[in-house]
Amino acid sequence: MLTRRGAMGLLGGAGAASIAGGLGVTLPTRSAHAAQNRPTLTIAVDNLKETLAPINGLSTATRRFFPNMFDRLIEQDYLSDENGLTFLPGLATKWEQNGKIWTFQIREGAKFHDGSDVTAEDAAFTLSAERLWGEKPYEPRGKTFTPNFVRVEAIGKYTFEIETDTPDANIPGKLTGFVGFVVPKKYYKEVGVDRFGQMPIGSGPYKVTQFRSGDVLQMEAFDDYWGGPPPAQKLIWKIIPEFAARMAGLVSGEFDFIVNIPTDQEKLIASYESVTLVRRPVGNYTLFAFNTLPNPADNPLVDPKLRYAMVQGVDMDLIVKTLWGDSTFHPSIPFNFPEYGKFYDPSRKDPLPYDPDRSRALIKETKYKGQPLTWNVHKDFYPNYEIAAEIMIDQWREVGINVQANIVDNVSVYRRPFHMLSMSNSSSFIPGDPYQPLWLDWSPQSTRATAPWKVWAPSERFIQLGEAFEKTTTFEDRKRAYLALSEEWQRLTPGMYMWKSVNNFAHRKKLGWVPAGEGEMRLFGDYLKLG
């Protein structure tokens, strides 16, 4: 087992590979490619998802491939702006706000994979109460992304409106996320959300031709794509659970891309002349959630003092430095993230710094007597998570906390009983704004508060502050509300943020590829050049 002493000995060996992607590149164009002689590209992944419905299927795994099959209303440009804070027209070509109402123009000539036109009716249905935010919507997780919607309506063949309960300047930013992927109303309603999730139709550069959730996803070029034919004839996303098999396939030429490379294997991957290693920090943070509920009935983590003790009992700065070098960092104050611009304040003081003596003192103030705490951890899912867990468990043991890691697959990880749960948190639903990680993902409507595996019940004060934050319209008011909400979250401490996620990939050197944000693998336009 790795210990803190062992971790110190590893310093300097991690993070040697350079970060690639998105630097000094021109504005994106939708390059057309000749239909003949295009290659089939095979991408070896660690997992897929049970459904490809855009909201029900939202996950780290689907982020990789959804942009190849679906089009968003508004796109983030990661070619000229590696942070993705520049917006570009997608299926929406124009948008403007008038008080509570946003009006959008749909791109004329865009088609779905079944040959039907993309219209305002499709866009309005995509964002409708019927699909996302009504009493019994097709994709209930959509309520999380549309809490202030009161009306979405097509007012012409290529024009639709979104009305919110208060003026919302962030609607365009919200539509750059999963909620902005447009689905065809007629087909979706004919087959229902479950069948749609097994054979979806979008309007992106590739169309789905085969999907077996535990095995493979195949896509073929959609040459009627409004941006022109894509560079590959076929994309095959194949599950290869073990990294060694993914690496061997890439080196042999069986695979064109692989994902999720263990950090200690990056140097080996980079040593192959035929391979390019790519690392990219993304708008996502790895964390663990405390189970703060009395389920199991004797759960000692209902006491926030024990949660404080656990945060102060691990030297996360040291762990991150050991495992990642200078590639990423530990956000000691949750939600105080650099990508949030004016919201970010590097001078803020960590309320729960690493302090083993304080940790031991806090434990004495609780009823905790050393009983095992089970930490459900996704197996081979988040890079470096399992080795970090080993170090943290060793450090907790030193202060008198007995944590046991239960490393299981993506389905079993949510099975009770457990005391802690591995997860990650996207930070970019509204680019440049802390809305998603602070409120959207911890609100009373979030899966963390409603799913069968729920881990907390937000306090009344947290709910009041969150609702106030959601309704702010000026930056000054929004920052004040953000700080108050963040302080309440820290008082409750329902989890601990570990590091900003770093995605890594490797591909055959003859391919020129620029990774987008959030782990997206855009294999079209100027993001992919064939050698």
95 touches 105 (CB < 8 A): yes
For the cut 80, the answer to whether the pLDDT of residue 13 exceeds it is no
Average pLDDT over residues 455-484: 95
Are residues 408 and 427 both part of a single domain? yes
Q: Are 317 and 352 in contact (CB under 8 A)?
A: no
pLDDT score of 24 more than 80: no
Helical (H) or strand (E) element with 509: none
Q: How confident is the model at residue 246 (pLDDT cuts 50, 70, 90)?
A: very high
Taking the CB of residue 167, how many other CB atoms lie within 10 A of it? 15
Under a CB-based contact definition with an 8 Å cutoff, are residues 94 and 88 in contact? no
pLDDT of residue 138: 97
Residue 301 sits in the same domain as residue 194 = no
Residues 157 and 305 in one domain: no
pLDDT at 19: 24
Name residues whose C-beta falls within 8 Å of residue 101's C-beta, 6 or more positions apart in sequence.
161, 162, 163
Count CA atoms closer than 13 A to 343's CA, side-chain side: 27
Map residue 57 onto helix, strand or coil.
coil
Per mean pLDDT, which of 27-41, 132-146, 392-406 is the most reliable?
Answer: 392-406
Span of 15-29, 97-111, 241-255, 375-389 with lowest mean pLDDT: 15-29
CA distance 147 to 423: 23
Residue 75 lies in a domain: yes
Beta carbons within 8 Å of 506's beta carbon, 6+ residues apart: 247, 250, 257, 258, 261, 269, 275, 276, 277, 278
For residue 196 the two structure tokens come to 């749609």
Q: pLDDT value at position 127?
A: 98
Claim to verify: residue 346 and residue 470 sit in the same structural domain: yes
Domain count across the chain:
2
Predicted confidence band of residue 20 (pLDDT cuts 50, 70, 90): very low
pLDDT average, residue stretch 394-422: 95
Q: How does pLDDT run across 364-389, given as a tens digit for each residue?
A: 999 999 999 999 999 888 889 999 99
Q: Which residues contact 309 (CB under 8 A, 6 or more apart)?
A: 358, 359, 360, 362, 363, 366, 399, 401
Q: Which of 37-41, 52-56, 199-203, 514-518 has the lowest mean pLDDT?
A: 514-518
Side by side, the strands of the sheet bearing 149-156 are: 92-98, 101-106, 159-164, 149-156
By residue range, what is the domain housing residue 310? 282-502
| pLDDT attached to residue 33 | 55
Report the pLDDT averaged over residues 200-217: 97
- Do residues 362 and 303 touch, judged by C-beta distance below 8 A? no
pLDDT at 7: 47
- pLDDT score at 233: 98
pLDDT exceeds cutoff 50 at 30: no
In a domain, 4, yes or no: no
pLDDT of residue 35: 56
Mean pLDDT of 97-118: 98
- Whether residue 25 lies inside any domain: the answer is no
Residue range 223-245: mean pLDDT, rounded: 97
511 contacts 256 by C-beta, under 8 angstroms? yes
DSSP 324-371: HTTS----SSTT--GGGGGG--TTPPPSS---HHHHHHHHHTS---S-
Q: What is the mean pLDDT of the chain?
A: 91
pTM: 0.79
> Do 388 and 487 belong together in one domain?
yes
pLDDT at 27 over 70: no
How far apart CA 120 and CA 33 sit, in angstroms, is 29
CATH number, domain of 383, equals 3.10.105.10
Residue 20 domain-assigned?
Answer: no
Residue 494 lies in a domain: yes
The mean pLDDT of 395-422, rounded to a whole number, is 95
Q: Which of 3-12, 404-413, 452-461 has the lowest mean pLDDT?
A: 3-12
The answer to whether position 22 is within a domain reads: no
- Does 385 lie in the same domain as 351? yes
- Considering the domain architecture, whether residues 194 and 96 belong to the same structural domain is answered as yes
Average pLDDT score over residue span 79-90? 90
Q: Is residue 118 part of a domain?
A: yes
